[in-house]
Every structure is written in structure tokens, then in C-alpha cells.
Amino acid sequence: MVVAVMSQPLRRLALSAVFLGAVFLVVALNRGRRDDAGGAAVPPGFSLENVAGAVGIEFSHHGPALDPRIDNIAPLVAALGASVAVGNVNNDGWADLYFTNSRFGFANALYLNRGDGTFADVAREAGVADLNRPGEGVSMGAVWGDYDNDGLEDLLVYKWGYLQLFKNLGGLRFADVTAAAGLRHWMNSNGAVWLDYDRDGLLDLYVTGYFRSDVDFWHLKTTRIMHDSWDFATNGGMNRLFRNLGSGRFEDVTARTGVGSTRWTLAAAAADFNGDGWPDLFLANDYGPEELFVNDSGARFVLTRAGLESDSKSGMSASLGDVLNRGRVDAFVTNISERGYLFQGNNLRLNFLPELGRFQQGAEGVVADAGWAWGAQIGDLDNDGTSELFITNGYVSGDRDKSYWYAMSKVAGANSNVFEDTRNWPAVGTASLSGYERSRVLARHGSEGWVDVGPQVGVTDEYDGRAVALVDLFNRGVLDVVVANQNQPALVYRNTVVPGRHWIAFRLVGSRSNRSAIGAEVTVEAGGIRRLRIVDGGMGFASQNDRRLHVGLGGATRVDRVVIRWPSGARQVLEAPVVDRLHVITEP
Amino acid sequence: MTSAALPRAWARLGEVDPRYLVSFLITLILVVGEARYGILGGYDRLAIALGVCVVTELALARVVGGRGAALQSAYVTGISLALLLKPQTGVLWPFALGAFLAIASKFVLAYRGRHLWNPSNFAIGLLLVIAPGSVAILSHQWGNHLATNVVIWGFGLLIASRVGVLHVTLTYVVCYALLAVARGAIVGTPVVAELAPITGPMYQLFIFFMITDPKTTVGSMRGRVAVAALVAVVEASIRLAADYHVAALSLLYPAPPILALAIVGPIAKAVDLAYCDSFHKPVTHP
């Protein structure tokens, strides 16, 4: 061997060269992971343009002003509340948008889609604007669902304060029926999801708790309100499941069904992960591992070991979708990444529950690292038949040259007795914490894998994004993107897809199932590929997508068949439905 | 246990090769951390770091060093890297390259036949500075369980004492605490926040395995105390710079103690080797 005949000095020289080479290799590998959008070699087949102002949506969020006792970290605590939920309040076939505000005296907005490319805020006339009042709390998000099966979408607003349920009376009027429904509970909630967990045809309600429910942010009795661990916290607000009794009233069945997690849940989503026909609950928890509560025939839920329990991170958002066209519901959960300090990495939980009883991690590269990521959604933005990911991010954008990361790292290393008390936290002042981050738009491009095409398609905003919803706002057969930003203006990205891409969409109306058809699954089979979509009752972070299901088909001009599995368990098959059209399907 | 049993146990502990005690302690941290908190983040990380450390040590000791392999050192380094490096999801190369660089640094970055950096301190410090987009450092706390802290600190101090490096540990801890109080007063932050980091696993690995590494500390006890104090001072300086948002030093802020030692340690060792006769009087163990 060459080494054997080398002298000792030569061997040392050779080792030094290899050593230096290893150092350069580290630099090279690290450069390959910069968060700059490298973009795709092939131009993306779509572009997004913010048209919020042009279409009349001039909504700007205002964060809450809280008790002065927590002023030192107020920018962090009060960094939630921007949300968006897509509904169709007047059944006119055009998607409407509800945005929340989070400061006393600032109104929520209900943007009615006029169908002519413009929107009008009708929240005040409808009675769903003035929700942020002293003694009542402030809005954190909302979800649409027809809880009384009268054919009109009702509205649940979750708050740091009292929940509020609004019955849609028709004629763009809503009535606050919270007390009559038995839902007047003070919760510090940042998420809710409609689901029919017992499949009785009535929408039930799962509301997540973030801060403890005994915390009144405007009259704090204690400053010991924070989490008790950065990795395994269990002292958050309790999540609650409310069963719809069918008489306009709800019953708290949290204890009976075993879903009262106190893990600082930021987002919940419901779907049948294990294929047994019953909707399960997937939770993204801050300061801890995600949780999957598997539905046991509508009687109770069982917290299941599914490869989630030991992977403790900071779950912010739970989005569901068939990411790889496998005909399965996968979950995408956002987390926190910051250069040098923390790489918790987003999770792409590929569903292998039926075979392996667990999820498999599918996130790496740009999928794993989207900065301090918040809301995200999965959808086919370019109608090419594969899914894209839209991810909002950025926590607090203050002074660009001051970062709170180092200061936070001090308390992050402390015992819980220290950081549970806000008084022990260094003051944030005007510092940023993962501020000015650019939203990500990730697309799969053949052998390149996932690529961040954000700047290429026109997404360059650096707002502190929270909620994102995908919706065909202009009924053109493409998914537009609506983003709610914290303390900043909402964005409405109008999508333009290159010609020659086909699509098919479905609006489902339940009969035996809940009328909103929440929980229904639609599998589109075309060209040997199965694409699954689910009707969601809220997913992502503080958001709800268009409940019309959109499937891109690429160049395919024919769909072989469509299989609908309704929440009631009924199965319906459509043979060769025409493409490039919205199909309204009523449950047989 | 009778009153005579404790001294007997203490004496027996003294008979154990100190290298085994150090190995026991880091294994204890690994087992407790993984079993209770999943601190590793994947066994592949441990396998790669440990495997590359051992193979590199075996190869370089034979080919370049002309001596027997220091497998115990490779073992401690491999586990340290597996515990302390927290890279991006799915990225494993920092464990392989970090392990290689750690062990190879002993052969390449040597002066008068002695290596200057603690291997894991060198590798982690280097990766944090040149690969911040890929590598972060352990930021876990021991859940919210004081008991875990007490066990690790108890065993750590006991073993540091038997290995003969307790004075280094205590000097650093005392200096850190005093400087934390001073920093708190200067910056106006709560003192508990300034003291808090030292209770975490990252500091325990630093205190019991890096700053006390007999191979890279200076020869005299007085010198070791002075170096430990100097490391604490440099660390405090880095922390103050972070508090005042000095952008030029921002790469040092995620792991001030690691990088303070990486700066001070080799300088002190080189000075010691150059100007003191200490390398003829290596650290002795009871």
C-alpha cells in the first residue's frame, strides 16, 4: 500500500491534507443548506400575485394588548391571533373569508365574495365583527361548520376568552347561540376542529387549549403561566371535546372520551388515519411531542404510539393531505429552525399506520427547515397532479439587528421553576425572534425532489405569517392562497396556472352524514394514480381550507373513477366524471 | 450501609482506572438522557459518531501516531458528539465528519507531540462556526426533573474528585456563578436566567468531559485553576457581547462555553508546553 511506504512526515502531511479537505467538505455541505431559495431548474407551472387590495380585502391584524405584568415578554406571548377560515355563508357557490382580530375594539372581518372578483366586509351587518371586548376576550381563530344541518354554515370562534358559536340565520345574519349551546367556556385556545367523532350525523367540536383556562390575560393573578418544560410540557390548557346532542346543545365529553390533553396544543386536525372508518385526532403540540388519538368506534379515543411520542419538538400546525399520491392521509407539522440555535425541523408524517402501526418521517432539506414555521397547507397549486406545500413563517419581526434568540437560550436551559414564571425571562424589548422570514412554497420537481420555488412564483413577503388557507376564490379551477399575518396585512395570492393542466373538483353535501360532509374522503383515480382528498373541519394553524375538494390532473383529460367515502360509512362511486368541472355530489 | 462502608467504597473507587470512571459517567448521561428524554434523536447518530471515532483512532494511531489506539478517548468523544450535535433533520454528515475531525485533530493540531484541543470541543466548536446552517448544539433541559440533575451532578462531582480534576470543575462553576451575577447586574436581566444554563446537560458534558480533559489541560494545578477561570471570563465576555447584540461575534452565541474553551484552551496549553516544564509532569490520578 502507498501508506506503508510513506515516511512518517509524509504520512502526517497526507493526514493534514485530508484533515483540511474534511474542513472544506463541511463548509461545502453547509453551503448546500442555505435557506436561499435555490429555485427549480424547470420553471414552476404557476405564479402567485398578491391581489388583496385590488379585490377589496384590506384587512390588517392587531395582536392583543395584555396585562402589563408580562410586559417583558409581551411580544412573544401576544404573537398569536391572526387567522383565516374559508366558508360559503350564503350558498352562492363563491368562497367567503373570515379573518380574526385580537385586540379589544378591533373588529373581525367577514369578506363576502361578490362573485365578480371583489369582496365586501359584511361582518358588522352579519353580527360577527365586534367580538373582541373586555370581559369576553379576543379572537384567535374560527371554523365554519353546519352544526345543525340546516344547510347554512355556522361559525365557531375560539378565543383567549369565551368561545362563541354563531348560528347562520340566512340572509347574511348570525345569532350568538353560545350560551344556549352550552359552549360558554373560557379557554385560551388557538385551534378548533369540527368532526363527527361518533358518526351520528351531527358535527361535534374539538377545541384545543394553549394557556391554562384559569389564565385571564387582562387580570393576571400570577405570572407563573408559562410551560413547565421545553420538551415535554403538560401544564397547558386542556383540550375539550363537545358532543353535539342535536338539539342545538353540546355536551362536554372530554373526560369520557379521553382526549383532554394538556400539552399546549396549537393545532388539531381530524381524519381517519388507520382506515377503520372512524375519524381520529392528530394534535400538534408546542413544547412536546405530537399526539394521535385513535377513535375507538366513537366511544372513546386511545392515545396511540405511532412513532410520535419520543420526537419532542414545537408543533405549530397540523395539515393533512395525500402528499405523495399514495391514497393515504399524511400529516405535515411545522416546527422551529434557527441557524446555530435550534433545528427542530418540520415533520412530514407519512402514514403507514395500516401496515406498520406508525408514521414514517419524510421531511428533509427544504421541507424540514422553513425557519420558525407556522401555518402550512398541502395542495396542488399548479394542477400537475402532485402536491405543493405553502408554509408561512416568522415569529416576531422587531429590530433587524437585535435577536432574542440568545436571551431565550438562557431560560431554555433552565429548570421549569425558572421559566414558568414570566418575571424570570429577559425582556424582549424591540428585538426580533426569527423575524422577517420569507414564506416558503415547496414543489416536487422530479429528481430535484422538493424545491423552494417561492421567489420564482412571486412569494417574497417577509410578514409574520400565521394562518394560510387554500381556496378557489374565483371559481377558475385553481387553488388561490390566503395568508393571515400577525399584526400585519392579510395577503390574497391569486394563482395563475400555465395552460394545459386539467383538474376536477367536488362539493359534497351530506344527508345521513353531517351536511357539511366534514370527514368525507374522495379518491380520484386517473392514469393509474390515486389521489385522496378529505373534507376538513379546520386544519393547519388557525385556518380552514375551502371545503370544495380540488384535484389537479396534469395533462390527463380523463378520470377513470372517483370513490367517495362518506362520514356515515356510505361508499359512492362515480365512473368517468368529466374533468375541468366542479361536481356537486349529494350523499345517496 | 455501615459507617465503615462508605470510606471503603470511596477507597475502592480510587482503585478504579479513572478512564473507566469517566466512561461510566458519560455512559450514565447517555443512558439516562436517552431513556427518559430521547436525547439522542436517533441511534444512527450514535452509531456513526462512535463508529467513526473508533475507526479513525485505530487507523491514525497505527498509521501516523505510531502508538496504541486510545479507544477510551474515542469512546468518550463519540458519545459526546452524538449527544451534543443537533443537526438538521435527516442530516448525518456532521456526526461522521465531526467524529473524524475530532480524532484527527489530535494528530494534526499538535504541538511538541501533544494535542491542544479536547477532541470533541474542537469538532463541535468548528462545526458551530463553519456550519451554522446545518448544526446546532444540544439545548435540552432534563425535562423538569431536578432529580436527574442531582444524579448527574452527584456522580459527576464524585468522579471528578477521584479523577483529580474537581478543582477545575469547581473553579469554573464558581467563576461562572459569580460572573452570571455580575452579568445580570450589568445587563439588568434576572440572575436566575443567567445562572440557569449551567443546570442543563450541555454544561454537564462541558464541565465533566471537556474543560477537565487531562490531556489538554495545563500541567500545574494553579495553572489549571487559572485556565478554568479564564474560560469563564471569556465565556462571560461572549455572553455580554450577545446581550448587547454585537453582530460580529454572533457565531459564538449559541454555545459560549464550548467556544470560550476552544479559544482559551489551546492557547493555554501551547504556552504551558512552550514556557513551562509541565509536560514532564503530567496530571496524576489517585
Nearest to B176 by CA among B139, B206, B134: B206
Looking at residue A455, what is its pLDDT? 96
Per CB-CB distance under 8 Å, the chain B contacts of A11 are 63-64
Give the distance from residue B128's alpha carbon to the nearest chain A alpha carbon, in angstroms: 6
Nearest to A29 by CA among B82, B250, B120, B132: B132
Higher pLDDT, A565 or B23: A565
Alpha carbons A560 and B211: distance in angstroms, whole number:
68
Alpha carbons A337 and A434: distance in angstroms, whole number:
9
**B37 contact A CB<8A:** yes
Contact B97 A15 (CB under 8 A): no
CB proximity list for B203: less than 8 A, separation 6 or greater? A413, B197, B257
Nearest to B103 by CA among B47, B56, B50, B51: B56
The lowest-confidence range among A4-8, A19-23, B105-109, B248-252 is A4-8
Reported as a single tens digit per residue, the pLDDT across A70-89 is 999 999 999 999 999 999 99
* Helix residue ranges per DSSP H, chain B: 5-15, 18-37, 43-60, 71-84, 93-108, 119-130, 146-163, 166-187, 191-195, 201-205, 221-243, 256-275
Alpha carbons A339 and A170: distance in angstroms, whole number:
51
Per CB-CB distance under 8 Å, the chain B contacts of A342 are 86, 136, 139
Judge if pTM exceeds 0.90. yes
Higher pLDDT, A161 or B8: A161
Nearest to A95 by CA among A550, A577, A566: A550
From the CB of residue A155, how many other CB atoms can be counted at a distance below 10 Å? 24
**B189 contact A CB<8A:** yes
Averaged pLDDT of chain A: 95
Alpha carbons B163 and B177: distance in angstroms, whole number:
23
CA distances (Å), origin B196, targets A570, B14, B155, B192: 57, 32, 20, 6
Alpha carbons A361 and A350: distance in angstroms, whole number:
6
Alpha carbons A575 and A566: distance in angstroms, whole number:
17
SS3 A193: strand
C-alpha cell at A407: 436571551
Give the distance from residue A232's alpha carbon to the nearest chain B alpha carbon, in angstroms: 6
C-alpha cell at B44: 444512527
**B88 contact A CB<8A:** yes
Alpha carbons B125 and A285: distance in angstroms, whole number:
32
SS3 B274: helix
What φ, ψ does residue A332 adopt, rounded to 5°?
-115, 125
Looking at residue A33, what is its pLDDT? 55
Contact B89 A368 (CB under 8 A): yes
What is the identity of the amino acid at B171? T
Across the range B140-164, mean pLDDT stands at 81
C-alpha cell at B127: 462545526
Task: Decide the pairing of beta strands A399-403 and A431-432.
Answer: parallel
Contact A15 B194 (CB under 8 A): no
Please give the sequence-ordered ranges of beta strands (E in DSSP) within A200-340, or none if there are none: 204-208, 240-244, 250-252, 265-271, 280-285, 291-296, 300-303, 317-321, 330-334, 337-338
Point out the residue among B132, B134, B149 whose CB comes nearest to the CB of A29: B134
Per CB-CB distance under 8 Å, the chain B contacts of A12 are 64, 107-108
SS3 A530: strand
Contact A337 B88 (CB under 8 A): yes
Alpha carbons A536 and A544: distance in angstroms, whole number:
7
Reported as a single tens digit per residue, the pLDDT across A415-437 is 888 899 999 999 999 999 999 99
Across the range A343-363, mean pLDDT stands at 94
Residues constituting chain B: 286
Alpha carbons A147 and A520: distance in angstroms, whole number:
16
Across the range A499-506, mean pLDDT stands at 97
Contact B284, B224 (CB under 8 A): no
Alpha carbons A206 and A243: distance in angstroms, whole number:
9
Looking at residue B37, what is its pLDDT? 82
Per CB-CB distance under 8 Å, the chain B contacts of A229 are 141, 143-144
b/e B229-262 (16+ beta carbons within 10 angstroms → b) = bbbbebbbbbbbbbbebeeeebebbbbbbbbbbb
Give the distance from residue A489's alpha carbon to the nearest chain B alpha carbon, in angstroms: 29
Looking at residue A80, what is its pLDDT? 98
Per CB-CB distance under 8 Å, the chain B contacts of A16 are 108
Q: Is the pLDDT of residue B282 over 60?
A: no
Across the range A300-304, mean pLDDT stands at 97
Task: Decide the pairing of beta strands A582-586 and A502-509.
Answer: parallel
Point out the residue among B60, B100, B136 whose CB comes nearest to the CB of A343: B136
Residues constituting chain A: 588
Per CB-CB distance under 8 Å, the chain A contacts of B197 are 409-410, 413-414
Reported as a single tens digit per residue, the pLDDT across A163-191 is 999 999 999 999 999 999 999 999 999 99
pLDDT grade for A106, boundaries at 50, 70 and 90: very high
Contact A489, A463 (CB under 8 A): yes
Across the range A42-63, mean pLDDT stands at 96
Alpha carbons A75 and A29: distance in angstroms, whole number:
35
Reported as a single tens digit per residue, the pLDDT across B203-246 is 888 999 899 988 888 989 999 999 999 999 999 999 999 999 99
Contact B97 A311 (CB under 8 A): no
> Would the CA dihedral through A119, A125, A130, A136 be positive or negative?
negative
Alpha carbons B106 and B61: distance in angstroms, whole number:
10
Nearest to B114 by CA among B217, B238, B223: B217
Q: Is the pLDDT of residue A46 over 70?
A: yes
Contact A19 B251 (CB under 8 A): no
In whole angstroms, what separates CA B102 from the centre of its chain? 12
Per CB-CB distance under 8 Å, the chain A contacts of B100 are 22
Nearest to A6 by CA among B69, B58, B55, A15: A15
Within the 166-185 window of chain B, which residues sit less than 8 Å (CB to CB) from chain A? none
Nearest-Cα residue of chain B relative to residue A423: B190
From the CB of residue B197, how many other CB atoms can be counted at a distance below 10 Å? 22
Point out the residue among B64, B139, B143 whose CB comes nearest to the CB of A342: B139
Looking at residue B285, what is its pLDDT? 43
Alpha carbons A578 and A582: distance in angstroms, whole number:
9
Alpha carbons A55 and A118: distance in angstroms, whole number:
4
Across the range A460-480, mean pLDDT stands at 98
Nearest to A407 by CA among B179, B174, B281, B184: B184
Give the distance from residue A110's alpha carbon to the nearest chain B alpha carbon, in angstroms: 40
pLDDT grade for B271, boundaries at 50, 70 and 90: very high
Nearest-Cα residue of chain A relative to residue B60: A15
Looking at residue A37, what is its pLDDT? 58
C-alpha cell at B242: 450577545
A396: β partners: A433
Reported as a single tens digit per residue, the pLDDT across A504-551 is 999 999 999 999 999 999 999 999 999 999 999 999 999 999 999 999
SS3 A30: helix
Task: Output the 3-class SS for A257-268.
Answer: HCCCCCCCEEEE
Contact B196 A418 (CB under 8 A): yes
Q: What is the CA radius of gyration of chain A?
A: 24
Please report which helix (H) or strand (E) contains residue A20, including its range. helix A8-31
DSSP B132: T
First to last CA, chain B: 24
Contact A229 B143 (CB under 8 A): yes
ipTM computed for the complex: 0.90
Contact A410 B194 (CB under 8 A): yes
Q: Which of A341, A403, A421 has the highest number of chain B CBs within 10 A, making it the mutation to test binding with B?
A: A341
Per CB-CB distance under 8 Å, the chain B contacts of A13 are none
Nearest to A8 by CA among B66, B113, B69: B66
Looking at residue A74, what is its pLDDT? 97
The lowest-confidence range among A26-35, A94-103, B167-176, B247-256 is A26-35
Q: Is the pLDDT of residue B280 over 60?
A: no
Contact A424 B38 (CB under 8 A): no
Alpha carbons A177 and A192: distance in angstroms, whole number:
17
CB proximity list for A552: less than 8 A, separation 6 or greater? A380, A382, A383, A384, A385, A386, A501, A502, A503
Contact A412 B133 (CB under 8 A): no
Please report which helix (H) or strand (E) contains residue A31, including its range. helix A8-31
C-alpha cell at B70: 486510545
Per CB-CB distance under 8 Å, the chain B contacts of A403 are 245, 250
Q: Is the pLDDT of residue A576 over 80?
A: yes
Per CB-CB distance under 8 Å, the chain B contacts of A27 are 130-131
SS3 A375: strand
Q: Is the pLDDT of residue A2 over 90?
A: no
Looking at residue B286, what is its pLDDT? 40
Reported as a single tens digit per residue, the pLDDT across A254-284 is 999 999 999 999 999 999 999 999 999 999 9
Looking at residue A225, what is its pLDDT? 98
From the CB of residue A586, how many other CB atoms can be counted at a distance below 10 Å? 12
Percent of chain A with pLDDT over 70: 98
Looking at residue A418, what is its pLDDT? 87
**B108 contact A CB<8A:** yes
Across the range B96-101, mean pLDDT stands at 98
**B110 contact A CB<8A:** no
C-alpha cell at A575: 365512473
Look at phi and psi of residue A313 and say left if phi exceeds 0, alpha if psi is from -120 to 50, else beta: beta
